[in-house]
Amino acid sequence: AKLEAHYEAIPQATGSGTVLYSDYRLAEPQLYYFQTDHLGTPLEVTDTDGNLAWVGHYRAWGKLDKARGGNGNNAVTDNPFRFQGQYHDEETGLHYNRHRYYDPEIGRFITQDPIGLMGGANLYQYAPNPTIWVDPLGLNKSCCRCLYRGVSANHPALDDATQGVVRPANPNANLSPEQHAEGGLTGESQYVSWTPDKSLALQHANKDGAGGVLLSVPQGAPQSGDSWSWGWTHINDWGEAEMLQEGTRTGVNVSREGCL
């Protein structure tokens, strides 16, 4: 919700009645409510009676294409919020994103990431896909519908993981999902575990101390031509949900956010 102040022009006349200037006075504040998409981007703004006051239409990378009111005319209520954590700068057209500015015309930040490579290899990138990723602070992207995998500093797959490659230790193995979930079979499984619980993945990334990485991928089925598939969804003995990957997956997002 947002309190918005409106200003009303009050004509001030002198002499013959000619208006020389207008004095803008603060009107009564009004309460509005935001209706957002799954990422937190405002799509509609309504008043306390549920009437549409602002409806926004965006381009792919967050530039506001047009805004209208509930009656289809131009919106009379302003909404400066864009992608999660972004505030539209009317003078420059850029979006203030806390630690740097984002250009919605090109879908990139205009300065390098202040946390360097900890935010990813591309220092100007906002996100690989704006329909599932956000970057509220302008530092490091976060997936809103992702699966995670933590790879610790002493894990034999660390080198692959740092390159965004996830492959099973033994593609020719024939373990059951239950056997894989029991653990202690590093190097002997055709499965690779993923979890929707980011904090759990970070525990695995940090279990050997500093040097681990956090991997993430969007939820969803593989595309045509991909060399990997989902083999099973399993709940282990600790109540943890595991998505079991079969085959090799490349182009995985690599991050050290939350890692030691």
User: pTM value?
Assistant: 0.56
The CA distance from 159 to 150, in Å, is 13
d(CA 80, CA 66): 13
Angstrom distances, CA of residue 184 to CA of 132, 181, 187: 34, 9, 9
pLDDT of 132 = 81
The domains of the chain are located at 1-144, 145-255
Q: Report the pLDDT value the prediction gives residue 236, as an integer from 0 to 100.
A: 63
pLDDT of residue 181: 77
Phi, psi at residue 255, to the nearest 5°?
Answer: -145, 155
Q: How much is the pLDDT for 182?
A: 75
Of 200, 204, 224, the residue nearest 212 (C-alpha) = 204
Non-local CB neighbours of 148 within 8 Å, separated by 6+ positions: 194, 195, 196, 197, 198, 200, 201, 202, 214, 215, 216
Q: Residue 258: how many CB atoms within 10 A of its CB?
A: 16
| Confidence at residue 94, expressed as pLDDT on a 0 to 100 scale | 98
Three-class DSSP category at 206: helix
Q: Are 190 and 175 in contact (CB under 8 A)?
A: yes
Residue 73 tokens read as 């005319």
243 strand-pairing partners? 194, 233
DSSP-H helix ranges across the chain: 158-162, 177-182, 198-206
Coil/strand/helix, residue 160? helix
CATH fold of 145-255 reads ADP-ribosylation fold (3.20.170)
CB of 84 within 8 A of CB of 134? yes
Extended strands (E) in the chain: 2-4, 7-14, 18-26, 30-36, 42-47, 52-58, 64-68, 87-88, 95-96, 101-103, 108-109, 133-134, 142-143, 146-151, 192-194, 213-218, 228-235, 241-247, 253-255
The residue ranges of the chain whose pLDDT is under 70 are 1-27, 185-186, 234-240
Q: Buried b / exposed e across 199-211, counting CB within 10 Å, b at 16+?
A: ebbbebbbeeeeb
